[in-house]
Amino acid sequence: MKDSNFLKEKNARSVWHPMAHPADCLANPPTIVTGAHGVRIRDVDGHEVVDGVGGLWNVNLGFSCQPVKQAIADQLERLPYYSIFRGTTNDAVIELSELLREFFEPDGLSRAFYTSGGSDSVETALRLARQYHKVRGEGTRTKFLSLKKGYHGTHMGGASVNGNANFRTQYEPLLPGCHHIPAPLTYRNPFNETDPEKLAQLCLQALEDEIAFQGAGTIAAFIMEPILGAGGVIVPHETFMPGVREICTRNGILLIADEVITAFGRSGSWSGSRHWGVQPDMMSTAKAITNGYFPFGAVMIAEHVAETFEKDTTGKANIGHGYTYSGHPVGAAAAIACLEETKRLKVNENAAARGAELFAGLQTLQEKYDAIGDVRGGHGLMCALELVSDRGTKAAIDKARINRLQEVAYQSGAMVRVSGNNVILSPPLVLTASDVETILSSIEAGFQAIT
Ligand code: PMP
């Protein structure tokens, strides 16, 4: 193993990092992770911490999931690659599709279209939504609606429905016909409404107004995360997503649930849509589908959407979209093993139990540290702290302080993620109660250092 300084130097010389300013990476070299086991990662200097980030919301089963590793190795040996473009398929993808059909049956989703990750899945869902309307003879339905603060990946379609300027401004102009409504975030919203249920109604009204303004017949789909993740773990009131479902159905608009984070147990339910009792028309998934061990994703499609395509006789339903790695057999084999482990371990139940402990612990920290403006979560293992320099004005904390907090938390035993003025926690779902304690005490050490 090369030493730390050698690797840092080479990293600075040759690697550009996603979601980072190149100059910032030079000034603050990233942690070099060289190993992991269980829910812990180890850096090049041998320092080991609990991974409060869970890879990137994806390593739900931890880093030592042997059945998944074995499935990948076996599949590589048997059939390392073949495409599933028209004319060929593979046995791994067939088996996976049957398992996914069963897994998502309560969500009303029965067909799978495979991708290489979350952004691909979002792009696929947006495209299929437009095509669905064309197949039905409603080709004017081309626009997309979404939530401000929503995150839908980085392809041009996904960036266009993203609701955070940081992921948009430098890449404009984006796709025309994408419009955003306020997110149901009680801590900050244009209505100054702090009651979650009233706020949900106001946001639903904003959706109704936008549809009326645009004309329902011009809108293809509304896309939303059932619980917003990257935007800072925004948990809508339980009436919100059912309300969106009703409005979409009444207006002939497809509802795409972006469950790249929430599918497979993170919210404490098997899917975020199920958490709110909603059946979407399409669902984008990725991340935990392969536990982060292989780049892979799937768009799950509702029966009625599938039938529209399958019964088409005009040729318009020919799918002119797909990726070289759609249905990759190694990804499919990894996903089969992940699904089996996910169900066997009932990781959703542990996510709910550990998530409740983590959320309660963060609320206790809020009582002690003024820098915590808002604590969000309470549904599985996805939590965020929004940090402020002043609770009254809610002005964002300065960057140096939040970075220092992250650094001290890391030295004290936990990797946490900083995104804007949020500290985001999305640990593996196989976390123990004592791991939760480690995360909380490490964060507390961080607050002590900046207070
Ligand atoms: N949608 C959501 C809801 C996500 O959280 C993410 C990634 N964090 C994406 C899409 C994009 O996924 P990927 O980074 O795998 O392309």
**First-to-last CA distance in the chain?**
38
368: domain CATH number? Answer: 3.90.1150.10
Task: Give φ, ψ of 219 to 5 degrees.
Answer: -105, 125
User: What is the mean predicted confidence (pLDDT) over 25-39?
Assistant: 95
Atom of ligand 1 nearest to the CA of 225: 3
Q: ω into residue 173 within 30 of 0, thus cis?
A: yes
Instruction: Assess whether 333 and 411 both reside in one domain.
Output: no
Confidence of residue 2 (pLDDT cuts 50, 70, 90): confident
Query: Separation of 52 CA from ligand 1 center, angstroms?
Result: 18
pLDDT over 80 at 442, yes or no: yes
Q: 122 is in which domain, residue-wise?
A: 67-344
Confidence of residue 3 (pLDDT cuts 50, 70, 90): confident
- Is the CB of 227 within 6 Å of ligand 1? no
User: Which of 295, 322, 344 lies at the terminal end of a domain, its last residue?
Assistant: 344
The helix (run of H) or strand (run of E) holding residue 41 is strand 40-43
Note whether residue 190 is domain-resident: yes
Instruction: Assess whether 151 and 282 both reside in one domain.
Output: yes
Q: Looking at this predicted complex, what is its ipTM?
A: 0.99
Note whether residue 278 is domain-resident: yes
User: Which of 298, 326, 344 lies at the terminal end of a domain, its last residue?
Assistant: 344
Cα radius of gyration (the chain)? 22
Q: How far apart are CA 381 and CA 178, in angstroms?
A: 31
Percentage of the chain exceeding pLDDT 90: 98
Query: Separation of 46 CA from ligand 1 center, angstroms?
Result: 30
Structural domains counted in the chain: 2
pLDDT at residue 1 in the model: 63
Q: Which of 306, 256, 307 is nearest to 283 (CA)?
A: 256
Mean pLDDT of the chain: 97
DSSP 3-state of 404 = helix
Model confidence pLDDT, tens digit, residues 237-288: 999 999 999 999 999 999 999 999 999 999 999 999 999 999 999 999 999 9
Instruction: Assess whether 370 and 305 both reside in one domain.
Output: no
The percent helix, strand, coil of the chain (3-state, each to 5) is 45, 15, 40
- Is the CB of 123 within 6 Å of ligand 1? no
Task: Please tell me what DSSP assigns to residue 16.
Answer: P
Atom of ligand 1 nearest to the CA of 56: 8
User: What is the mean predicted confidence (pLDDT) over 405-413?
Assistant: 98
Q: Which of 152, 138, 127, 126 is nearest to 319 (CA)?
A: 127
Atom of ligand 1 nearest to the CA of 121: 10
User: What is the mean predicted confidence (pLDDT) over 196-200?
Assistant: 98
Query: Separation of 434 CA from ligand 1 center, angstroms?
Result: 29
User: What is the mean predicted confidence (pLDDT) over 345-372?
Assistant: 98
Model confidence pLDDT, tens digit, residues 304-356: 999 999 999 999 999 999 999 999 999 999 999 999 999 999 999 999 999 99
- Is the CB of 122 within 6 Å of ligand 1? yes
The pair of three-digit structure tokens given for residue 315, joined into one six-digit string: 């040729």
DSSP code per residue over 405-445? HHHHHHHHTEE-EEETTEEEE---TT--HHHHHHHHHHHHH
Task: Give φ, ψ of 243 to 5 degrees.
Answer: -65, -40
215: domain CATH number? Answer: 3.40.640.10
- Is the CB of 118 within 6 Å of ligand 1? yes
The pair of three-digit structure tokens given for residue 167, joined into one six-digit string: 């992921």
pLDDT at residue 65 in the model: 98
Query: Separation of 286 CA from ligand 1 center, angstroms?
Result: 8
Query: Separation of 119 CA from ligand 1 center, angstroms?
Result: 6
DSSP 3-state of 342 = helix
Instruction: Assess whether 157 and 300 both reside in one domain.
Output: yes
User: Which of 294, 312, 344 lies at the terminal end of a domain, its last residue?
Assistant: 344
Model confidence pLDDT, tens digit, residues 137-176: 999 999 999 999 999 999 999 999 999 999 999 999 999 9
Q: How far apart, in Å, are the Cα atoms of 312 and each of 111, 127, 256, 317, 423?
A: 16, 17, 22, 6, 48
pLDDT over 90 at 194, yes or no: yes
Confidence of residue 436 (pLDDT cuts 50, 70, 90): very high
- Is the CB of 117 within 6 Å of ligand 1? yes
pLDDT over 70 at 200, yes or no: yes
Amino acid at 356: A
pLDDT over 70 at 33, yes or no: yes
Amino acid at 64: S
Instruction: Assess whether 339 and 359 both reside in one domain.
Output: no
Which residue in this structure is represented by tokens 């009792």? 277
Instruction: Assess whether 50 and 120 both reside in one domain.
Output: no
Q: Are 36 and 63 in contact (CB under 8 A)?
A: yes
